[in-house]
Amino acid sequence: MTEELILPIVHVNGTSKEQLLADRYEFLDALLKAGEKIGKIAPNGRDYYPGGPELLDQAEEQFKRRRALLRGLADEIEAEIGELL
């Protein structure tokens, strides 16, 4: 992660620490499940060969980018949870 985390400030008039953590754990769980499910949309060469070999390469790069986005977001939320603990 290259950017500094902007964390909520736990205080008496704000959301409780427990709720902040619970919401982040729930979101992290959804991200991890999405990370498992993304494999179902991994490019299969049979679906791209009519467009030429470059098309499969592009689809694989797109898939890697999407998977990395999910992983990066999950890493960021994990870091935020760690800071809130």
User: Which helix (H) or strand (E) segment is 59 a member of?
Assistant: helix 53-84
Tens-level pLDDT at each residue, the chain (85 residues) = 568 999 999 999 999 999 999 999 999 999 999 999 999 999 999 999 999 989 999 999 999 999 999 999 999 999 999 999 9
Q: Contacts for 37-45 with beta carbons within 8 Å, 24 or more apart? A: 38/63, 38/66, 38/67, 38/70
What is residue 3's predicted lDDT score, i.e. its pLDDT?
80
What is residue 59's predicted lDDT score, i.e. its pLDDT?
98
What is residue 10's predicted lDDT score, i.e. its pLDDT?
96
Domain boundaries, the chain: 44-85
